[in-house]
Amino acid sequence: MLDRIREKLNILADAAKYDVSCSSSGGTRKNTNKGLGDSHTSGICHTYTEDGRCVSLLKILLTNHCIYDCLFCVSRKSNDVKRAAFTVDEVVELTMNFYRRNYIEGLFLSSGIFKNADFTMERLLLVVKKLRLEQNYNGYIHLKTIPGPAMN
Ligand code: SF4
């Protein structure tokens, strides 16, 4: 079980490193409900490795499966790469565990599109909802929105 999570982490953190829009500044979220953590517009340290990853955030894809085939993208369906997908609960648990251990200051979450945009966006939002409302997590979240989901 742990080995499978580790394997998913390797695949989905590696796939996420190509997204360079990684910055942990710009948001303030005060801890007011005895939850865990604060985020500030400043004071959050973000360090970039030489290959572009921001190491203070858990930077992952929910999945690198994708129904589309954008030529520039490493997750395009025609690309012959290892595929994986986290469950919603796996992302929540990883984020909380890493945050408590002080490995990260926040979560950067994006995703390939599996099934359709609605299905994928629902799962991304469920991660955020569980972190904020069930875990009282007040740390930083950078959530990429999926183009094309229904607005209602
Ligand atoms: S839809 Fe997004 S994840 Fe899928 S191939 Fe295009 S850029 Fe990559």
**What does 24-90 look like in DSSP terms, one character per residue?**
--S--B---SS-B--B-SS-----B-TTS-BTTEEEEESB---S---TT-TT-TTS-----B--HHH
| Mean predicted confidence (pLDDT) in 72-91 | 96
Question: What is the pLDDT, as a whole number, of residue 151?
Answer: 73
pLDDT band at 25 (very low <50, low <70, confident <90, very high): very low
Mean of per-residue pLDDT scores for the chain: 83
pLDDT at 43: 29
> Inter-axis angle of helices 88-100 and 117-129, to 10 degrees?
30
For tokens 């589309």, name the residue. Answer: 68
Average pLDDT of span 35-49 = 54
Lowest-confidence range among 22-36, 48-62, 123-137? 22-36
Q: How confident is the model at residue 44 (pLDDT cuts 50, 70, 90)?
A: very low
Amino acid at 146: I
Q: How confident is the model at residue 21 (pLDDT cuts 50, 70, 90)?
A: low
Q: Which residues contact ligand 1 via a Cβ below 6 A?
A: 66, 68, 70, 73, 75-76, 112-113
Q: In the structure encoding, which two tokens stand for residue 29, read together?
A: 């979220």
Atom of ligand 1 nearest to the CA of 66: 4
Residue with the nearest Cα to atom 3 of ligand 1?
Answer: 112
